Amino acid sequence: MDMKGLALFLVAALAAGTGGGERENFDSTKEGALPGGWLAGITGPGQAQWAVTPDPTAPSAPNVLKQSGQVASHSYPWCVKKDISLQNGFVAVKFKPLSGKEDQAGGVVWRWQDGGNYYVARGNALENNIVIFRTAQGKRKELHRAPMTVKGNQWHSLRVDFSGSHFTVSFDGQKAMEWEDDLFTKAGAAGVWTKADSVTEFDDFQYGSR
């Protein structure tokens, strides 16, 4: 199967709700705590507030992982499952942007090396787009963007398939973009991400290696 055929297969699998791998829905974690094996932090000044909380609207109720800390404009809260290490594979999540005057963003992180070095793909309900960023030595750089309708207070799905330098991003079951970047090629952790004053919930975190 060529690269185009593989991408179409992965998008179809996402739309059908499949894709294998491991799943974490946060339902076994005590309210107010972080799931076991997860690490929370922030790129930039401020203090993120990550915690498991109930939400009856969650795709796999009752619990979600929520970031509610409202930090500086150029600060990026992240929460990664540090007990996994993926070089080639996928990471996916369902997210709901709740509020934020500056941003209403939710994203997935892959090949996370530390709090200043990782890739992220995110959706933003105020901008109606999907963007791939690279954060290196604490500085964020936009790699590519695509216009997509991202509605606030609504659950969306976001997935990145990565192999070598090639990335395919899918949003709500549709391919949003493909891109190439080879700065981070080593295995790393995966997780979720927000920006600035975004208050965002996450559920059904999935990941797998290939």
Concatenated DSSP letters of 108-133: EEEEEEETTEEEEEEEETTTTEEEEE
Q: What distances in angstroms separate CA 158 from CA 20, 49, 61, 132, one per listed residue?
A: 15, 22, 18, 12
What pLDDT shows up at residue 20? 72
Q: Report, as an integer, the average pLDDT of 140-156.
A: 98
pLDDT in tens, 42-96: 999 999 999 999 999 999 999 999 999 989 899 999 999 999 999 999 999 999 9
Residue pointed to by tokens 């192999």: 163
pTM of the model: 0.90
What pLDDT shows up at residue 16? 34
What pLDDT shows up at residue 13? 44
What pLDDT shows up at residue 155? 98
Which domains can be identified in the chain, with CATH numbers? 3-205 (2.60.120.560)
Q: What is the dihedral of CA 204, 161, 172, 55, to 10 degrees?
A: 20
